[in-house]
Amino acid sequence: MSRIDQNTVVVIIGAGVAGLTLANFLLRNGIDCIVLEKHSRKHVEQRQRAGSLDGRAVRMFREWGLAEVIEAETAHDDSDSEGMPLRIDGQERIWRALDVLDDEPGIFCPQQVLVGNLIEVFLRDGGDLRFEVDVALHGLDSQRPTVRYRHAAGADEVINCDFIAGCDGYRGISRQSIPAGTLTSYSYEHGYAWLAFLSAVRADPPAVMAVHSRGFAAQITRGPNLSRFYLQCPLTDGLEQWPDERIWIEVDARFGAPPAATGPITDKQIVPLSNVVHSPMQYRALYLLGDAAHLVSPMSAKGMSLALDDADAFARAVTQYVQKEDSVQLESYSQTRLGHIWDTQVHAVWITNVMHDAGDPSYAGEFRKRLARAELERMMLPLARSGA
């Protein structure tokens, strides 16, 4: 039996980085909100995702009084392609110093660590977070929509709200609830994939990339003794073509040296690389944030920072509306965010193409490889100065 007795200003769908950051921002401004998440808390806190925040995102947490959620993480310099050392054909190279406008360093922060910290702070400060619920959105065309959800135990609940924040990812219910034909989707497919896998191997340094004639490779920290590895591969590859023995051979070859340690391989998957933007990022009282609205290729390491930018912009817009009855920021949310998102897509597509075209020429051809190698050399110190 449904209980239509709950009211709040914002219902946040999804307890990922975007949803939890937004919830904490709203809570600090005294704005009522409820977070609904379909998975269990354990599942959410153990999800392994990208873990790099740029300087702008770091400063944002500090400005909102949430420095505690990131203060223990490892800093990196945004000017050197997110601080990642680069090995080209087995030789370690050094990035040229770039002039940057932001003097705030970025950090490596595994997403599960940030999510766990955000949950802890939100609940500690009195936030309302409900796990393991199935959600449906209703009345999006009305002045005050409702969110219906069902607990795992089978009880139904209804929440009336002013706004819905769709923070439930690329395949979530939020964007799917928008009437067909309302949004325009723009996408770019890179034509290759990453074989991504986890292994109980310490990443030291926290991230390193490799460009090699066999393809691109990377190792990124996911915790004190856990790494996510990436190997470029054809879109047509299946997991059965990548037994563990072959994987470690490729890691050895592409980095030009065997890894310091190897371990059991888990969470193995093929991930096609693509960039996607959905426009507009709003339908009536439903606003899209993070992956629900856009994807950037993971090569750019900007996905999590973009989601945080969305949360910051929407939190400020809602606060302005509630406290001052000013809807200007809400009305311009989509247009403002899309301008920044498209700027980020320019960089994301560019760096992805350079790093992959410079390796295996079977994807884009020898001409594109030589162009990409020339571009890389413009970004590297000469070999004589890099110590190679």
Q: Where exactly are the structural domains of the chain? A: 5-81+105-185+275-351, 187-274+358-379
**Structural domain 5-81+105-185+275-351, CATH architecture:** 3-Layer(bba) Sandwich (3.50)
Q: Using alpha carbons, select from 54, 24, 19, 5 the residue that is nearest to residue 347.
A: 54
User: For residue 211, what are the β-bridge partners?
Assistant: 88
Which pLDDT belongs to residue 78?
Answer: 45
pLDDT digits over 32-57, tens only?
A: 999 999 999 999 998 877 677 888 99
pLDDT digits over 141-198, tens only?
A: 998 999 999 987 777 899 999 999 999 999 999 999 999 999 999 999 999 999 999 9
Decide: 73 and 108 in contact? Cβ < 8 Å: yes
User: For residue 230, what are the β-bridge partners?
Assistant: 196, 218
Q: What percent of the chain has a predicted confidence (pLDDT) above 90?
A: 76
**Cα(33)–Cα(13) distance, rounded to whole angstroms?**
11
Q: How many CB atoms lie within 10 A of CB 144?
A: 11
Which pLDDT belongs to residue 251?
Answer: 96
Which amino acid type is present at position 380?
M
Instruction: Judge residue 373's burial from the number of C-beta atoms within 10 Å of its C-beta, 0-12 exposed, 13-18 middle, 19 or more buried.
Output: middle
Those residues whose C-beta lies under 8 Å from the C-beta of residue 75, and which sit 6 or more positions away, are: 105, 106, 107
> What mean pLDDT value characterizes the chain?
91
User: For residue 35, what are the β-bridge partners?
Assistant: 12, 129
Q: Using alpha carbons, select from 354, 351, 388 the residue that is nearest to residue 370.
A: 354
Q: 187-274+358-379 has which CATH code? A: 3.30.9.10
Q: Using alpha carbons, select from 169, 364, 175, 134 the residue that is nearest to residue 278.
A: 175
Instruction: Report residue 234: phi and psi, to 5°.
Output: -65, 150
Q: How many CB atoms lie within 10 A of CB 192?
A: 21
Does position 386 have pLDDT exceeding 50, yes or no? no
